[in-house]
Amino acid sequence: MPLFAYKALNAQGSMTSGEFDAADRNEALRLLDRRGLQPVSLRESATAAAASVRKPNGKGKPEESSRAQAAKEDKIPDGPIKLKRQEVVLFTEELSDMLSAGLQLEPALKSMENRQELGNLKAVSFKIRQVVRDGVNFSVALKKASPSFGPLYCSLAAAGEASGALDTILKRQAHYLKTLAELQSRLVLAMIYPIFLIVAGIAVSIVFVTTLIPQLTALIASTPGGKVPLGAAILIAISVFLKKWWIVMLVAMIGAAIFFKAWKDNDANKPKWDRIKLNLPLVGPVITSRFYVQFLETMANLVGNGLPLLRALELSRDATYNRSLRVELDRVIEQVGDGRSFSKALIRSGAFPPLLIDMISVGEQTGKIDISLRRAAERYDKELDKDLQRIMALIMPTVLIIMACLIGTMAYLMITAIFQTISALH
């Protein structure tokens, strides 16, 4: 009987290890479960594997696969592994390509595990494959292997498993992640120049308020009949106030930021915060359009692969990150469950635009709802791209206008003070 070596967490949360005999891996896992242990690593012991090694007979070499497997597991770090965004994208693309080519999930993960250039992805693939091989769903294995996949990614993976379209779901998720990374890159590049202008403007304003304007007002005050301009007097008062209370204001701002984060992260306040985000200018329409695209694409994939409409709605709701929008989907699911058509349920919810409802209604009438959903997703994907381009186009002129107003105000006060000083000398 094989000898298995294990590392596991006991009920107190501490790590324990040891060896025991079991008929196979499944029986070994059952034995650990009976002992109340949560397995972290389980492998056939190298000493037991050595007993089953073939002796050389002049035609072949000894079998060392068990030892190689044990060595590989020793190199895998315990616990979840954090991945970079690019690694998540690469993992998703590689896996979706192999699944699309007809490879089953476990062989595909095994292939990624044996790749030389994937780095941390090899360890993540190994962990996922170990969990999947024990009969656990792929979406659950993702959560256990790495926190970098996130709840949205895992929910979409669960939807793909349920519909049999895991490869399609992963391919669209890879496209979404690449689009998000590209957007962040474009935003960083677009903000370099405005940030430089903002820093330069703040530095100039500080020099004006703390040095130039006080010197000029002192000169005016020492001139017979000189009068300090009202605007300059206000700026000087602000400067004195900031010099005296800047530490208190800094502490107050840090405290407010900590309080806001605590409030935002509280589970009871998350639905309210998600609702506020939907109403923010510029940002709200982007979040809403992104939801429409993701919701419609997921529904099209699920319904197109034969999943019942109600089950597809439930999985799409689980894949929705915004809790306020998830509440709206709960209402739609309730009404569809009561026998109403999909389009009428969307109308009664009041949270979906008429154009989207009309396109879905046409799909219901023609019996090709998956095609209508996919066309609606493409349409709102274009709308999302327009919203993003509009935001990017507004950043630069907005910053320039703010800087022009700030510097212009300072220059106006300086020139006014200079002219008043000259008039007083005459």
User: What's the length of the chain?
Assistant: 426
Q: What is the pLDDT of residue 71?
A: 45
Return the SS3 of 83.
coil
Residue with tokens 């890879």: 174
Amino acid occupying residue 151:
P
Cβ–Cβ contacts within 10 Å for residue 148, how many? 18
Sign (positive or negative) of CA dihedral 309, 310, 316, 320: positive
Return the SS3 of 357.
helix
Count the helix, strand and coil residues of the chain and give each as a percent rounded to the nearest 5. 75, 5, 20
Q: What is the pLDDT of residue 254?
A: 95
For the chain, which ranges sit under pLDDT 50?
46-74
Question: What are the beta bridge partners of residue 21?
Answer: 3
Instruction: Let me know: does 325 contact 316? Beta carbons within 8 Å.
Output: no
Q: What is the pLDDT of residue 188?
A: 77
**DSSP state letter for 12:** T
Q: CB-based contacts of 297: which residues, under 8 Å, 6+ apart?
A: 172, 373, 374, 377
Q: Up-side HSE of residue 144: CA atoms within 13 Å toward CB?
A: 18
Cα–Cα distance, 105 to 327 (Å, whole number): 33
Residue with tokens 């429409």: 292
Q: What is the pLDDT of residue 11?
A: 64
Distances (CA, A) of 336 to 152, 309, 323: 24, 9, 20
Task: Determine if the pTM surpasses 0.75.
Answer: no
The sheet carrying 15-21 orders its strands as 15-21, 3-9, 38-44
Instruction: Let me know: does 236 contact 413? Beta carbons within 8 Å.
Output: no
Q: What is the pLDDT of residue 256?
A: 95
Cβ–Cβ contacts within 10 Å for residue 82, how many? 11
Cα–Cα distance, 374 to 178 (Å, whole number): 20
Return the SS3 of 114.
coil
Question: What are the beta bridge partners of residue 349?
Answer: none
Chain-centroid distance of CA 350 in Å reads 28
Cβ–Cβ contacts within 10 Å for residue 57, how many? 6
Q: What is the pLDDT of residue 263?
A: 92
